[in-house]
Amino acid sequence: MNQYQGSVLYIDILGISALTQGIIPIIEDDFKAHKFTSKKSYSEQLYCAKLLVLFRRILKGAKQKNLQIAQLSDCAFIWSRNTDLVLNAAREIMWETIRNGILCRGGMAYGEIVEPEKVNRQLGHFVCGKAVSNAVTLESLGKGARIFIDSSLPPEASNKIPSQAFQGQKNPLDYSTVDEFLWWLYPEKISTLPRINSSESKKILLEIMDLVSSLKHSPKFRWNAFSSQGRTQLAATIESISKCTTKLQNKIDYFFSKDEIINSLTERDDKKYRAIKELYSNEINDI
């Protein structure tokens, strides 16, 4: 066995259990929203299978040298000796999953990693160790598409990762403070944020508000918005993302509290999503 110190990301798709248990009815429009094809039926199990294939494709796109990835159905472990690699993979995966209509939540920890020296390719990778256990525990510390981290992780990142990428947040479950990786501030790469109200900061803001528009109105998230638990996850994600828009501009209030929007998240229409996205775009370009 190989035993070493490194960083681990545990990431999980939100809502899959309710989907596979038949709690959320899937309709033809859900398939159309994702451009999923089906010749026979529009069942929850088939829809879930197609989401998992899409998730796998996104994970595969994040793979690179010295970074290990193992998918276990609707969750995955990503790990490396290099903390920067795991952080950048986390950033990329979170952006790509939401852009593709998948809500994920993650936990990330630094510490002991244990893995086999040789891997049976037919069965796939496996990993264990204290960092793995901690990452799984951290994932459950809040609501929404967020990545919760332990306090030992940021010091292990290089000086290329700015301290502003991490922030203590109130845990909505018990209002204790939990550290978090603010992945949504970095649509392209993790770097120091540009000057507020600058053209570069507006480019990032446009990407962020596209996410917010999609989470609020895109038909890709209709199945999430069908259940009260799913609406809570969507609202918590929007609240967390929109709260950080003041780091990029100070002209417009783009903050949406969870309680403010949670009852309007069933309004799913592609035309409305595109109209709201265009409205935000025009406002941001005028800043």
Distance CA(72)–CA(77), nearest Å, equals 8
Q: Are residues 159 and 254 in the same domain?
A: no
Does a structural domain hold residue 192?
A: no
Q: Does 148 share its domain with 208? A: no
pLDDT (tens digit, 0 to 9) for every residue of the chain, 287 residues total? 788 899 999 999 999 999 999 899 999 999 999 999 887 789 999 999 999 999 999 999 999 999 999 999 999 999 999 999 999 999 999 999 999 999 999 999 999 999 876 655 544 566 889 999 999 999 999 899 999 999 999 999 999 999 999 998 766 566 677 899 999 999 999 999 999 999 999 999 999 999 999 999 999 999 999 999 999 999 999 999 999 999 999 999 999 999 999 999 998 999 999 999 999 999 999 99
pLDDT given for residue 176 in this prediction = 73
Is 193 part of a structural domain of the chain? no
Query: Is position 191 within any domain?
Result: no
**Does 171 share its domain with 234?**
no
pLDDT at 40: 77
Closest CA to 269 of 29, 23, 36: 29
User: Tokens 């501030």 belong to which residue?
Assistant: 185
pLDDT digits (tens, 9 = 90+) for 108-136: 999 999 987 665 554 456 688 999 999 99
- Per-residue pLDDT tens digits for 197-209: 999 999 999 999 9
The whole domain housing 270 covers 199-285
Beta bridge partners of 156: none
Residue 194 lies in a domain: no
**Percent over 90 (pLDDT), the chain:** 86
130 and 230 in a single domain? The answer is no
The secondary element (H helix, E strand) that includes residue 258 is: helix 258-261
Q: What is the pLDDT of residue 124?
A: 53
Distance CA 210, CA 256 (A): 14
Residues linked to residue 78 through DSSP beta bridges, in sequence order: 9, 69
CB 277 within 8 A of CB 254: no
Q: Would you state the pLDDT for residue 206?
A: 98
The two tokens of residue 117 are 């020296």
Is residue 75 within 8 A of residue 13, CB to CB? The reply is: yes
The rounded distance, in Å, linking the Cα atoms of 249 and 44 is 41
Domain boundary among 145, 161, 185: 185
Same-domain status, 149 and 15 = yes
State how many domains the chain has. Answer: 2
Dihedral angle of Cα 35, 36, 38, 42, to the nearest 10 degrees: -100
Residue 171's pLDDT is what?
Answer: 62
